[in-house]
Amino acid sequence: MANASARHKKNVKRKVTQKTVKVRETASTFAMLKNSVKTIQVLIGSYAFLDIMFWLAYTGKFVGQEGIYFLFKPAWDFVNIFYTYKSVQGKDEVDFTGVVCAICLMVVAIILKSVYEYLAELEENAKIADIKRKERAEKRAVAQKKTAIHNRKLAKNQESGFVFLLDISIKQVSGFIQEDALSPEEIAKIKNKFFTTLMNNLNLNQVLQKGYYKKKLFLVYKNAQYFDDFIYYTRETLNSMSKEFVRPTLRIDFLVGLNAIAPNEDFKEKLDILDTVNKLNLKNEFICTQSLKDIYSCMPKQNYVMSSKGVYNLSKNLNVSNNQEIFSLREDTY
């Protein structure tokens, strides 16, 4: 039972908590001040109402200077600093101290209302500023995350290379004179000329493996940083060689397959995928796999762009699914 419990704990996945972006919020400060002012305003307004009610009762002699009078005495004493009731002998005049006190309190309440409205306006502006500040912080966090991911990919890409597979198709054009037909040996020589000329034009110092795979030339480069130079010299060589052997009786087509490879990966499996790409009946194109596109997109400088050719099953075994998107490489003219 203990072992089963231990296995169960190992299988429990840890809950991934997403980090939230924390920013300084000023709107909450203004909201607290606004609510405090509102509370004081309500209390003062209520006190003014009770004060005028007590004054009416006091003036009508319903209550005297005992009981709840102590609640209003401090305010009335303050009012008596600038307003003092002077009784005249023989005249029954009304002491308006309570009224003056209520008026003063209402003036203070009106002022506090203006302060409340001003703080409410500041709060709204602060909310907008907080939202913009949070958006900037989130964008900055996303940018930092993308940069970190890009740097990780770049570090990985610096260790990754690429596999190249070239197939040359030479066919006799129908309707030519029989005497102009080329023998299989002559066609093989033309293909070999393509391969040897390309090998002579390329820098092979970074090549880990080279040879022929099902009568197709393959190269394994250990670093993808040489990709642009490699594509440039390969395109130039294939174009010049095609012009050299152009004739009415021949149709020469090529297909270049390119795939990414990590240091510990088997390049033969990569060649199998490129050989499957070669069977898609694509002509005179540079075809790249998704993995190579991902690596190339992280390069600091990119002289070429890749456009999708669709998703295909690149498995050698038709009963096994290995659907991958492939891309056509072309020169970036912008």
DSSP letter assigned to residue 80: T
What's the maximum distance between 2 C-alpha atoms anywhere in the chain? 151
In one letter, which amino acid is 138? Answer: E
pLDDT digits (tens), the chain, 334 positions: 344 444 444 444 444 444 555 656 788 888 899 899 999 989 998 988 988 888 888 887 777 767 777 888 888 888 888 877 766 555 567 778 888 888 998 999 999 999 999 988 988 888 888 888 888 888 888 887 877 776 666 556 567 889 999 999 888 776 555 556 677 888 888 889 999 999 999 988 889 889 999 989 999 998 888 889 999 999 999 999 888 887 777 888 999 999 998 888 888 999 999 999 988 889 999 999 998 888 888 777 888 999 999 999 988 877 788 889 999 998 876 5
117: Cβ contacts below 8 Å, ≥ 6 apart: none
DSSP summary character for residue 62: S
Q: Kindly list the strands in the beta sheet with 285-289, ordered across the sheet, starting from the edge strand earlier in the chain.
A: 207-213, 216-221, 161-172, 250-261, 285-289, 323-331, 304-313
Q: What's the pTM?
A: 0.54
